[in-house]
């Protein structure tokens, strides 16, 4: 296991929980691609990641990722986590409900030269929509 890349994974989670997009942007490559599979959203490049991240934080200002487990190698990582928050704004296809949510998810990513190169996020859309009352 790569200790440096394990630290990178921790920094990415901390940056996302800080709700400061610039902390996250500093940890990604210029040509990063992050795919949010359940809602079919692809964020490309630093501007795309910044825009997508800002949309999620606007939709759930108290959004939080709680990692449960992770592994990191020289080139990749996997993280299992619980995601929670309160939906105050619209999410793609889900109008604001004001309701709390908590669901499980996992992310798989690639690391290049000490930065996030790509990531695919998979999470429980059915649990989210049931909790928000839109299913």
CATH number, domain containing residue 66: 3.10.450.50
Once rounded to an integer, what is the mean pLDDT over residues 65-94? 94
pLDDT of 37-52, one tens digit each? 999 999 999 999 999 9
Query: Average pLDDT over the chain, rounded to whole?
Result: 95
Provide the number of structural domains found in the chain: 1
User: Which stretches does DSSP call E strand in the chain?
Assistant: 28-36, 41-44, 64-72, 76-86, 100-112, 115-123
Domain that holds residue 128: 3-132
R_g over Cα of the chain: 14
The residue-averaged pLDDT of 46-60 equals: 96
Helices and strands per DSSP (H, E), number in the chain: 4, 6
How far apart CA 49 and CA 47 sit, in angstroms, is 5
What is the enclosing helix (H) or strand (E) of 15?
helix 3-18
Average pLDDT (102-125) is 97
pLDDT bracket for residue 1 (50, 70, 90) = very low
The token pair that represents 39 in the structure block: 């809602």
pLDDT value at 53 more than 80: yes
Local confidence band at 4 (pLDDT 50, 70, 90 cut-offs): confident
Q: What percent of the chain has a predicted confidence (pLDDT) above 90?
A: 93
pTM of the model: 0.92
Position 135 scores a pLDDT of 75
On the question of pLDDT at 104 being above 50, the answer is: yes
| d(C-alpha 13, C-alpha 10), whole Å | 5
């Amino acid at each position: 296991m790569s200790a440096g890349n394990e630290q990178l994974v921790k920094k990415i989670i901390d940056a996302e929980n800080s709700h400061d997009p610039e902390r996250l942007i500093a940890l990604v490559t210029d040509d990063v691609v992050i795919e949010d599979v359940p809602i079919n959203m692809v964020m490309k490049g630093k501007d795309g990641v910044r825009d997508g991240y800002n949309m999620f934080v606007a939709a759930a200002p108290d959004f939080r990722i709680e990692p449960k487990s992770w592994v990191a190698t020289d080139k990749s990582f996997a993280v299992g986590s619980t995601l929670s928050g309160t939906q105050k704004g619209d999410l793609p296809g889900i109008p604001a409900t004001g309701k709390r949510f908590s669901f499980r998810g996992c992310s798989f990513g690639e690391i290049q030269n000490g930065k996030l190169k790509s990531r695919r996020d998979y999470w429980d859309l059915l649990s989210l929509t049931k909790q928000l009352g839109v299913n």
